[in-house]
Structure formats: structure tokens, C-alpha cells
Amino acid sequence: MSELPEKQVKRLRSLIQEAETNLAAAKELLTSLVGGEEPTVHHPGEEVAGKVIEGVFDGQAMIGPDGKTYPVPANYASKSKLVEGDILKLTIADDGGFIYKQIGPVARRQVIGTLVQHDGSYYVEVSGKEYRVLVASVTYFKAHVGDQISIIIPEDNRDAEWAAIEAGL
């Protein structure tokens, strides 16, 4: 049996990772829709029994220490203004729910740019560099292409691809 070309192996790994992320998101959605007989309510500060995983936010998901990707709800990432590089704690509750908590925010800075869209995604262009932003954030702030947007980026990460929207101007 001949070895698969490296490009195909990378693509297969990417597809598997995407499938695992989609499966976790589907399980989370199913649990939130169907749930148990009594919905579980988790209050801020309440300890929840379950498996705990710490990881790094990559702009749209959490990457665990094993390299596995865990879906972060876009509305949580938007409202919490998570920035690429933030450290998150994920508790996978005994009832199957995912509970995220930001435990290590990276140093941040705010910049202003213009909202643009291409390839079905939104970006904020700042001095010739584009930072991708979550659609949920664009929707929440009722922003439109061409609007001036204040975004939050990691202070020391010049290679960051993602930003959090602070506000529309």
C-alpha cells in the first residue's frame, strides 16, 4: 500500500476535526432542545459536575490540550468579546451540556476599521489587514458593510486572524 500524499492526509485530518466539532455542536443543540425531564439551570459561580477541559480560543472554537476542537456558541463568544488566544474552561456537564468560562483573557487593544464581506464571511479591515469577525457579532450590533467598527484584537499577536466586535460607530 502506497503512502497517501501529505496534502490528502492533512485534508482528512481537517475533515475529521470538522466532523467532531459538528457532532459536539449537534449534541449540544439536541441537549438544549430536548434536555432531560427537568431542564438544568446553571447559575453563575455554581460548580457543575462533569468533565473539565481547558483550552485556547482560536476565534470561533476552543482548542483543547489534545488538539481537539470544541464548539463555542457564537452568541457567547460575541457577548463575552472573546479574543483569539483567550484561555477557556469547558465543563461538559453530566447532562451533556457545555458550560464555558473565560479564565485567562489575553492582553487586548482596540482598533477601528471598516466592515467588509467576501466569501460569505465578515471582516474588519484595519490599515490593510483584515480580521475575521463572527456573523453573530455583526448581527447583534446591526452592522452593515462599509460601517466603521471598533474591534478588540490581541495586543501582542500580530498574526491574529480573528477579532471581537466592541461596538459599531
84-95 pLDDT, tens digit each: 999 999 988 888
**Per-residue confidence (pLDDT) for residue 39, from 0 to 100:** 36
State mean pLDDT over 56-70: 91
Q: Which pTM does this prediction carry?
A: 0.67
- Report yes or no: 93 and 42 within 8 Å, Cβ to Cβ: yes
CB neighbours of 27 closer than 8 A, spacing ≥ 6?
A: 96
Look at residue 37 in the predicted model and tell me its pLDDT.
Answer: 34
Residue 28 has pLDDT above 70, yes or no: no
The pLDDT of residue 4: 64
- C-alpha dihedral over 27, 78, 46, 42, to 10 degrees? -50
Q: Residue 150 — very low, low, confident or very high, per pLDDT cuts 50/70/90?
A: very high
Residues 151, 146: Cα–Cα separation, whole Å: 14
pLDDT surpasses 90 at 44: no
The pLDDT assigned to 162 comes to 94
**Is the predicted pLDDT of residue 23 greater than 70, yes or no?**
no
Q: Which domains does the chain have, with CATH numbers?
A: 6-35+47-104 (no CATH), 108-168 (2.40.50.140)
Average pLDDT over residues 45-60: 78
Task: With a cut of 80, say whether residue 63 has pLDDT above it.
Answer: yes
Residue 141 confidence (pLDDT): 87
